[in-house]
Amino acid sequence: MFAHYALLALALVLIVAAAEMFTNGIEWLGQRLGLSEGVVGSLLAAVGTALPETLIPIVAVFWFGGKHGADVGIGAIAGAPFMLSTLTLSLCGLSMFVFSRTGRRKQEMKINNGLLTRDLCFFIVAYSLALGASFMSPDRTLRLCVAAGIFLIYPFYVYLTIKGESEMGDEPEELYLAKVFKLDSKRLVLIVPQILLSLVGIVGGASLFVDHIETIAKGIGFSALFLSLIVSPIATELPEKINSIIWARSGKDTLALANITGALVFQACFPVAFGVAFTSWNLDQKTIASGIVAIFSAMIYLRLITTNRLKPVHLMCGAFAYFCVIGVIIATDTVDPMPISSIKQLSL
């Protein structure tokens, strides 16, 4: 068991180190290409870290197949927006609060209201359509049309994000590979490899983390349901959390929050469109409840942002909603969850 704890710690160190490399590299890519903080945070960083976990529902549906695979796929699709809009934003707010209290950053938040408003509006629209699709006729043609509509929301969002006015971020710390090779940090020949290496480290670290934390939890006696609902999702969303914590520590609040809100839009479009098109998309009451909580949380944050009242403590409240919903799901679950071996295969 000690070996599992040691490897778990190693995985966490690997994820943190890779996330440091990723945030540094992605900021320099934005500087090199003249991109705004909105594009860097909401598009490049959000999509870069969200792509690996997006494969989970696809693997579940096509690899395992049948009702069990579809159920796990739908759970993975619905779980990401729920966790991002509650627990992940909460951890970001907690980081801002702690770092400001310890003098690592200024207390006040400095965010691009227009950028975050756009992200949350697109998420609310796309995910509301997704939840509504669960009540539609099972007609295949109609489902495909709805899926296509949800999918096409994202290119429009990308267009508006690139077109929208937003300031470039301050020049980041020297590129890590540039330090090694003693070259200019703006060289794409160094920036791109650093980003790719960091993504490999993030994926590898997350896979190792999921594997060993599930083994430890199973040895302690936690159920597979507990693992599938809580442990695995927290681990697979770990890169987004750490990226945002790193940016929050540096006082780069727009990047910290846009990394999460941009991932919300991505998760509400690509995986959801896949789910509507290739599964029955008959959401149960618990899944619908988690979706409603995600949308409601986004609406609250949207209101706070548009009225210039958003503070770290508001973000921290998302954890309360997350644990309340998780508690209800665990307490009322009567269906045998997917076997632990299958959960591990999906997580990896």
Q: Confirm if 59 and 246 have CB atoms less than 8 A apart.
A: no
Q: How far apart are the first and last CA of the chain?
A: 20
Which pLDDT score is estimated for 338? Answer: 45
Which pLDDT score is estimated for 226? Answer: 57
Task: Name residues of the chain where pLDDT drops below 50.
Answer: 335-348
Nearest of 200, 197, 205 to residue 9 by alpha carbon: 205
Which pLDDT score is estimated for 107? Answer: 84
Mean pLDDT over each residue of the chain, to the nearest integer: 85
Tokens 């619905």 sit on residue = 78
Q: Confirm if 183 and 168 have CB atoms less than 8 A apart.
A: no
CA gap 64, 108 in Å, rounded: 48
CA gap 55, 347 in Å, rounded: 9
Q: Confirm if 209 and 348 have CB atoms less than 8 A apart.
A: no
**Alpha-carbon distances of 343 from 236, 336, 339, rounded to whole Å:** 12, 13, 6
Tokens 């320099």 sit on residue = 28
219: tokens are 């040895």
| Global confidence as pTM | 0.85
CA gap 212, 13 in Å, rounded: 14
2-347: which CATH number, 3.20.20.190, 1.20.1420.30, 3.30.565.10, 1.10.730.10?
Answer: 1.20.1420.30
Backbone angles phi, psi at 129, to 5 degrees: -60, -40
Q: Which helix (H) or strand (E) holds 330?
A: helix 318-332
188: tokens are 């794409």
